[in-house]
């Protein structure tokens, strides 16, 4: 599973990343988390506010920080 | 009703002297804390609910292909409900420009977003009533529309960083199109609670200082320094306000105390707008997409507009 976290490095982005890492740990899945901080690349996903979560090329969340439970749910489906 | 409860608390329960400076300051402090927290919850929650209906994608869609002036007004209105932060400002700016929304309309949005601040709105309401709070919103909207129209007329498109025009925004992701009102409320509540909790220490500090000034500062000193008739107070207040940003929430209770000591309303409002609307962190964020001359023009026009608003208020109220 390929997981990307998009965000220029603001507070929310860091919180998002921490939540995502924790969610992956809890699920015990084999996934690689990549941080995308380049604004040009972020925009190529068609989102207008960060942070955002992209799983296997698909935008799952944008513009807010979801809870660990929510991320777990998103990664399971 | 609240005042009576607080009176009972300070003068009855805590047994403080009603006529002492200290008793008065404590009474002022407790009353303000209760009132402010309540109204902040109302305003921040209300705006969070409205925001949940207006995703950035939706705002962009509404603003695309709108008549210029209608676009300016709508963009300013949308700016009210959108908080300005490093997470949203740059992507939104690029998204707007890329989809062909005029630069002036984009700026109306960019100005209204920090100028009309939900925390400032809640605090103004709790201190001065709904009327002053609405005047604050309307003057913020006017500045946003007016500056947006000017920037459009100046034709400053070439001062936007080139890369912005080269970006191809991917096909819009349509996340969470249908959510229940229950889910919206839950999200909005979590947001409100988090925000109020975060700014509470600043507010408490501000009220504390405010209570101190209220009780102790000599009245005629401030009136002499910041009298309505002194034409330099408004620009001075704005220039002092620009570098102050992070403590916006805490600064307003101080402003209140100043007003109660005779500083004119327009001067105080201009100060507050300068604190919330213009700041160094904001400048650094916008520098990513704007070249220096445009950034300077933007800050210059907004500063002048705020000073003008200050004079206007002093003349009206």
Q: What does the DSSP assignment read for B137-151?
A: HHHHHHHHHHHHHHH
Q: Check residue B46 and give its pLDDT.
A: 92
Q: Is the pLDDT of residue B26 over 80?
A: no
Contacts of B271 (CB under 8 A, 6+ apart): B237, B238, B240, B241, B255, B310
Does the pLDDT value for residue B222 go beyond 80?
Answer: no
Please answer yes or no on whether B91 and A61 come within 8 Å at the CB atom. Answer: no
Residue B291 has pLDDT above 90, yes or no: yes
Which positions in chain A touch B86 (Cβ < 8 Å)?
Answer: 8-10
How many CB atoms within 10 Å of residue B100? Answer: 9
Supply the pLDDT for residue B9.
Answer: 75
In chain B, whose CA is at the least distance from the CA of A39? B91
Q: Do A8 and B92 touch (CB under 8 A)?
A: no
Structural domain of A42: 2-76
Rounded Cα distance, B73 and B146, in Å: 9
What was the ipTM of the complex prediction?
Answer: 0.78
From B90, B168, B173, residue closest to A62, measured CB to CB: B173
Cβ contact, residue pair B95, A61, below 8 Å: no
Q: What is the percent of chain B with per-residue pLDDT over 70, rounded to a whole number?
A: 85
Task: Give the position of tokens 């709904």.
Answer: B130
Closest CA to A51 of A21, A20, A10, A18: A10
CA distance B170 to chain A (A): 4
Torsions phi, psi for B57 (to 5 deg): -60, -40
Q: Which residue has the higher pLDDT, B32 or A52?
A: A52
pLDDT in tens, B50-91: 988 888 888 888 888 888 889 999 999 999 888 777 667 888
> CA–CA separation, B241 vs B12, rounded Å?
40
The arithmetic mean of pLDDT across residues B142-165, rounded, is: 90
Instruction: Tell me if B289 sits within 8 A of B94, measured CB to CB.
Output: yes
Burial class (CB in 10 A: 0-12, 13-18, 19+), A27: middle
Q: Which residue of B58, B91, B167, B192 is the best one to mutate when testing the A interface, meaning the one whose CB has the most A CBs within 10 A?
A: B91
The residue extents of the domains of chain B are 2-7+18-167+200-316
Distance CA B35, CA B131 (A): 17
pLDDT range class, residue B33, cuts 50, 70, 90 = confident
What is the C-alpha separation between B208 and B290, in angstroms, rounded?
Answer: 40
- The confidence score (pLDDT) of residue B219 equals 56
Q: Is the dihedral of CA B132, B135, B141, B146 positive or negative?
A: negative
Measure CB to CB from residue A40 to each of B55, B85, B163 and give the nearest one: B163
Structural domain tally of chain A? Answer: 1
The pLDDT confidence band at residue B281, using thresholds 50, 70 and 90, is confident
Q: How confident is the model at residue B172 (pLDDT cuts 50, 70, 90)?
A: low
Q: Is the pLDDT of residue B164 over 90?
A: no
The encoded tokens of residue B293 equal: 């001359």
Separation CA B83–CA B116 (nearest Å): 9
Kindly identify which residue of chain A lies nearest to residue B87, measuring between CA atoms. A50
**A40 has catalytic annotation:** no
Which has more confidence, B298 or B28?
A: B298
CA distance B312 to B142: 12
For the cut 70, the answer to whether the pLDDT of residue A14 exceeds it is yes
Residue of A12, A43, A63 lying closest to B56 (CB–CB)? A63
The two beta strands, A52-55 and A2-6, are antiparallel
- Residue B220 confidence (pLDDT) above 90: no
Tokens of B198: 């975060």
Q: Which residue did the predictor score with more confidence, B47 or A10?
A: B47
Report the run of H or E that residue B214 belongs to, with start and end.
helix B181-216
CATH number of the domain that residue A49 is part of: 3.40.30.10
Residues B118-125: what's their mean pLDDT?
A: 83
Cα–Cα dist B195/B60, whole Å: 26
Query: Is 80 exceeded by the pLDDT of residue B110?
Result: yes
Question: What single-letter DSSP state applies at residue B243?
Answer: T
Tell me what pLDDT residue A8 has.
78
- Give residue for tokens 């630069």: B103
A13 is catalytic: yes
Cβ contacts of B55 on chain A, cutoff 8 Å: 48, 63
User: Is residue B188 scored above 90 in pLDDT?
Assistant: no
Check if the beta carbon of residue B84 is closer than 8 Å to that of residue B282.
Answer: yes
Edge-first strand order for the sheet with A32-36 is A32-36, A2-6, A52-55, A58-62
| Yes or no, beta carbons of A45 and B173 under 8 Å apart | yes
- Least Cα distance to B74 among B63, B84, B65, B82 occurs for B63
Q: Which of A1-10, B2-11, B132-141 has the lowest mean pLDDT?
A: B2-11
């Amino acid at each position: 599973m390929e997981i990307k976290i998009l965000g220029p490095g603001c507070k929310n982005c860091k919180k998002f990343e921490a939540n995502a890492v924790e969610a992956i740990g809890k699920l015990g899945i084999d996934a690689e988390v990549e941080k995308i901080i380049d604004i040009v690349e972020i925009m190529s996903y068609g989102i207008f506010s960060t942070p955002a979560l992209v799983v296997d090329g698909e935008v799952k969340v944008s513009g807010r920080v979801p809870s660990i439970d929510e991320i777990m749910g998103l990664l399971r489906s | 009703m609240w005042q009576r409860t607080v009176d009972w608390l300070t003068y009855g329960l805590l047994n403080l002297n009603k006529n002492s400076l200290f008793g008065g300051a404590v009474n002022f402090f407790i009353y303000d804390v209760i009132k402010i927290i309540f109204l902040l919850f109302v305003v921040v929650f209300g705006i969070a609910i409205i925001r949940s209906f207006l995703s950035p994608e939706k705002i962009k869609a509404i603003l695309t292909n709108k008549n210029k002036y209608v676009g300016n007004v709508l963009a300013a209105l949308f700016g009210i409900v959108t908080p300005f932060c490093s997470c949203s400002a740059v992507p939104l700016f690029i998204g707007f420009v890329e989809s062909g929304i005029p630069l002036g309309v984009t700026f109306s949005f960019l100005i209204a977003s920090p100028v009309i601040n939900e925390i400032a709105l809640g605090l103004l309401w709790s201190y001065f009533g709904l009327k002053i709070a609405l005047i604050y919103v309307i003057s913020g909207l006017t500045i946003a529309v007016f500056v947006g129209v000017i920037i459009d007329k100046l034709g400053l498109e070439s001062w936007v960083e080139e890369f912005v025009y080269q970006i191809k925004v991917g096909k819009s992701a349509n996340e969470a199109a249908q959510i229940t009102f229950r889910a919206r409320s839950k999200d909005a509540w979590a947001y409100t609670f988090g925000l109020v909790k975060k700014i509470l220490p600043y507010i408490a500090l501000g009220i504390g200082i405010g209570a101190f000034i209220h009780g102790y500062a000599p009245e005629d000193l401030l009136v002499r320094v910041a009298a309505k008739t002194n034409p330099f107070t408004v620009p001075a207040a704005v220039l002092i306000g620009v570098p102050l940003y992070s403590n916006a929430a805490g600064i307003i209770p101080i402003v209140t105390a100043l007003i109660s000591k005779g500083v004119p309303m327009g001067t105080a409002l201009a100060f507050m707008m300068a604190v919330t609307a213009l700041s160094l962190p904001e400048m650094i964020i916008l520098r990513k997409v704007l070249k220096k001359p445009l950034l300077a023009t933007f800050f210059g026009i907004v500063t002048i507009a705020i000073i003008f608003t200050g004079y206007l208020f002093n003349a009206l109220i």
